[in-house]
């Protein structure tokens, strides 16, 4: 083998280090993919930088949502002389007229950050990732107001744990069944006789029949398209933790190019197991959005999930639909007629002065009963009050 061959020297070590950087950025890269990357680099050579990047991307990236992170990290890791000069200039002492640093995605910044000696490559276990005295109140406040899409990989994991502790009291309505109480229009004679048996046959008070209160049935539709990738997982974890303790009926569907039923996965007790099961069920993750077709599938195959026009529908999407607006208008009209309220949980409300300009967003804005923000922990805390306000209105 000739001296300086691409398959010898430091290339293998550099690709292994690049794989570890990808792993710190949240890209799923194991040793097998790193070995394939080393083999691919030996086959295509290093004469053309774009060929090397395409070869490594083909074997080391398995999810569509990780491609932009890979390309940005590849440009920074295998940098050209111009990029090296920029990074070197950032490390030198800076004067008043310093240049602005290169803006990168938070996941890439975290992967390129210097690491302490003997620091582990992987994140700490979930049980150790908690806020302690080391994290100041300002750090916690910043994470509570940070947009989910602007978090680094480790911050995203921490915020996901915070979201699981947020409560979501579902509005209640009067049920058909009754129980004994202090108020009511009719006496509850069965309860009165049982009370009289405890007092020697003497009837001290006559309880009344009251209608029980029960939470509204929930129908959750979560957008899992590419533009919603950072929101879908976190909001699924939030909703599972908030509705798993016997708080009424909850049916969950994911939609992208088609509809996927996640209700079975949502019955699992553990949130991590639910997320793993949901990832196996969803086969159109990070694809397009065809809400009209998905609602047509809901009407054809799952119309019974809408319980007697009492169901509260939570539609989680950014409204960037690629289907026909007339189909979406028809299906949303049907959904509105067969449910109590249809609420649009829109992460794009993080932008001040947001207006529904896209065709699908305009249809949603006309058909839904209310539009609520769900882009950070603070908005999740306020979600229950916002839902109650829309229900009262």
pLDDT value, residue 232: 92
- Matching CATH number, 216-392, of 3.20.20.80, 3.40.50.410, 2.60.40.1930, 3.10.20.90: 3.40.50.410
Higher pLDDT, 81 or 279: 279
In three-state secondary structure terms, 164 is coil
pLDDT at residue 193 above 80? yes
pLDDT band at 4 (very low <50, low <70, confident <90, very high): very low
Token couple for 317 = 């999407």
18-72 pLDDT, tens digit each = 888 888 877 888 888 888 888 888 888 888 888 899 999 999 998 887 888 888 8
Domain residue spans in the chain?
1-122, 174-213, 216-392
Greatest CA separation for the chain: 106
In three-state secondary structure terms, 262 is coil
296-355 pLDDT, tens digit each = 999 999 999 898 888 999 999 999 998 899 999 999 999 999 999 999 999 999 888 899
Find the range with the poorest average confidence among 100-114, 144-158, 188-202. Answer: 100-114
pLDDT value, residue 183: 77
64-109 pLDDT, tens digit each = 878 888 888 888 887 754 444 454 454 444 444 444 555 666 666 6
pLDDT band at 135 (very low <50, low <70, confident <90, very high): low
CB 254 within 8 A of CB 222: yes
- pTM exceeding the 0.85 threshold for the entire prediction: no
CB 106 within 8 A of CB 151: yes
pLDDT value, residue 206: 84
- List Cα–Cα distances, 121 to 17, 29, 105, in angstroms: 11, 12, 19
Token couple for 186 = 């009719």
Query: 19 Cβ partners below 8 Å, 6+ apart?
Result: 29, 33, 34, 37, 60
Can you tell me the mean pLDDT for 158-171?
88
167-183 pLDDT, tens digit each = 888 888 777 777 787 77
pLDDT at residue 373 above 60? yes
194-252 pLDDT, tens digit each = 888 888 888 888 888 888 788 889 999 999 988 898 899 999 999 999 887 656 789 99
pLDDT at residue 117 above 60? no
pLDDT at residue 166 above 60? yes
> Kindly report the CA angle at 178 between 177 and 182, in degrees rounded to 5?
160
pLDDT value, residue 96: 46
pLDDT value, residue 84: 41
Query: In terms of DSSP H, where are the helices of 29-152?
Result: 31-44, 49-60, 67-77, 81-91, 106-112, 137-145
pLDDT value, residue 72: 86
């Amino acid at each position: 083998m000739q001296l300086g061959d691409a398959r010898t020297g430091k290339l293998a070590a550099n690709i292994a280090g690049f794989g570890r950087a990808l792993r710190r950025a949240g890209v799923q890269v194991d040793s097998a993919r790193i070995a394939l990357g080393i083999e691919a680099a030996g086959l295509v050579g290093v004469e053309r930088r774009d060929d090397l990047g395409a070869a490594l991307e083909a074997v080391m990236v398995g999810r569509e949502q990780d491609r932009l992170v890979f390309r940005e990290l590849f440009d920074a890791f295998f940098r050209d002389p111009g990029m090296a000069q920029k990074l070197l200039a950032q490390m030198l002492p800076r004067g008043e007229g310093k240049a602005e640093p290169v803006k990168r995605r938070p996941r890439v910044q975290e992967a390129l950050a210097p690491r302490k000696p003997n620091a582990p490559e992987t994140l700490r276990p979930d049980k150790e990732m908690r806020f302690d005295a080391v994290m100041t109140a300002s750090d916690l406040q910043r994470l509570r107001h940070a947009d989910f899409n602007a978090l680094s990989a480790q911050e995203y994991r921490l915020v996901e744990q915070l979201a699981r502790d947020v409560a979501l009291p579902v509005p209640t309505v009067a049920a058909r069944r009754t129980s004994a109480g202090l108020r009511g229009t009719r006496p509850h004679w069965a309860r009165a006789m049982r009370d009289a048996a405890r007092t020697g046959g003497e009837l001290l008070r006559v309880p009344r029949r009251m209608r029980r209160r029960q939470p509204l049935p929930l129908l959750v539709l979560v957008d899992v398209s590419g533009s919603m990738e950072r929101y879908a997982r976190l909001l699924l974890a939030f909703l599972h933790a908030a509705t798993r303790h016997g708080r009424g009926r909850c049916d969950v569907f994911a939609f992208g190019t088609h509809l996927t039923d996640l209700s079975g996965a949502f019955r699992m007790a553990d949130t991590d197991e639910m997320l793993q099961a949901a990832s196996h069920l969803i086969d159109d993750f990070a694809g397009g959005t065809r809400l009209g077709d998905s609602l047509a599938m809901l009407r054809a195959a799952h119309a019974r999930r809408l319980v007697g026009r009492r169901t509260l529908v939570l539609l989680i999407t950014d409204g960037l639909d690629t289907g026909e607006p007339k189909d979406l208008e028809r299906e949303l009209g049907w959904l509105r007629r067969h449910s109590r309220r249809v609420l649009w949980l829109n992460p794009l409300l993080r932008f001040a002065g947001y207006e529904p300009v896209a065709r699908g967003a305009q249809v949603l804005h006309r058909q839904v009963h209310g539009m609520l923000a769900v882009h950070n922990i603070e908005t999740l805390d306020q979600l229950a009050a916002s839902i109650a306000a829309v229900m009262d209105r």
